[in-house]
Structure 1
Amino acid sequence: MRSLGIAGSGLACCLVIGCGVTIPHDPDGALDRITGTTLRVGASPAQGLVRVDGAHVTGPLPDLVDEFAATRDADIEFTVLGEEEIVDALEAGRIDLGIGPMTDESPWTERASQTRGYDTVPGADGRKVVLLLPLGENRFQSALETFLDAEVGP
């Protein structure tokens, strides 16, 4: 078997880029779908991070999500859910993002993608807080993590 070498690898990259594939890629178009429309967020109560009072969701994580949504010209629709319900809703495509008590030790990594852990989020109290996203929506995750890095640090 022959190796493509540097020239062949470059050609392969040009072919992929020429096909209109954006890298990173969102197979279900999450970032494009929320831009200019609605970011659907599942929120689970979390001490110091997410407060739920009836249908009203507040706290440091909802504030960060609201700021991120503003960068995408998107409104936010919060749905109060438990942690497992957030994962189910992400898999079913009913929400775009999950926030709550999840940390970098989350048991949901086979069913949902998670951001890097952020212990600098106000209210994190040393926990490495993560946000959950649908699996494979890498462009959306990259945009969100770039935003979070700028707001609360990597």
Structure 2
Amino acid sequence: MGRTWPYLLVLLSCGCDPFPREAQGSAARARDTLRVGLSHDPPYVDVATGDAPHGAEVRVIEAFAAARGAKIEWVTEGHEALMEALLDHRLHMVAGGHSARSPWDGVAWSRSVRIDAGPGHPVERRWALPPGENAWQLEVDRYLHAQRAPE
């Protein structure tokens, strides 16, 4: 039994890291301000009018930020530039144009969110999230799960 204790202590200390782990700390960096990339995709995301972004997905993101007590810094560029910024961990999420068939590899995806595309026409959308940011993805997914209406 005397030789077992050192091994047991090493084994137990391995479990002391925070879980879920994050490579770049997105959840911590998003405490006060969310950097959200938006790709023009009406009626879900509309950034073409020169006014503040609006649309069904924008409203869900605004509600998510409000629930966290965070401000939003909207970033509007071409879709490819936004996805590259996300891969470089310069954005917390990208919205607009993402369905279950989105072709981007290497990014993480939120759980689906049901968005009304008109009376009686809900569609499933999802947001691109930075890869390897498990705590951040868990926060986003928990919020979306809590908002999901019963089917």
**Same fold judged by TM-score > 0.5?**
yes
Task: Give the root-mean-square deviation of aligned CA atoms.
Answer: 2.3
Is 1:48 paired with 2:36? no
Answering whether residue 127 of structure 2 is matched by residue 131 of structure 1, we say yes
Counterparts in 2 of 1:2-151, with a 5 A limit? 12=11, 14-18=12-16, 21-35=17-31, 37-52=32-47, 53-54=49-50, 56-108=52-104, 110-118=105-113, 120-123=114-117, 125-151=121-147
Runs of 4+ in 1 over 4 A off after TM superposition: none
Aligned CA distance change for structure 1 residues 71 and 16 (closer, same or farther; 3 Å): farther
Contact persistence 2:44–2:57 (CA under 8 A):
yes
**Deviation of 1:107 (Å):** 0.8
Determine which structure has more spread, i.e. the larger CA radius of gyration. 2
Asked whether the 8 Å contact 1:40–1:96 carries over to 2, the reply is yes
| 1:55, distance to aligned residue in structure 2 (A) | 5.2
User: What TM-score do you get using the length of structure 2 for normalisation?
Assistant: 0.81
Q: 1:42 to 1:121 in 2, by over 3 A?
A: same
Deviations 1:2-60 (A, max 9, x none): xxxxxx99x84x32332xx222111211011111x210000011132111122521112
Tell me which amino acid in the other structure corresponds to 1:121. I
- Indicate the percent of aligned positions where both proteins have the same amino acid: 28
The answer for the alignment partner of 1:4 in structure 2 is none
Where structure 2 has 5 or more consecutive residues not aligned to the other structure, the ranges are 1-6
- Judge conservation of contact 2:111–2:144 (CA < 8 Å) in 1: no
Q: 1:123 to 1:25 in 2, by over 3 A?
A: farther
CA distance in 2, matches of 1:49, 1:71: 20
Distance 1:121 1:152 in 2: 10
Using the TM superposition, give the Cα deviation of residue 126 of structure 1 relative to its aligned residue in structure 2, in angstroms: 4.9
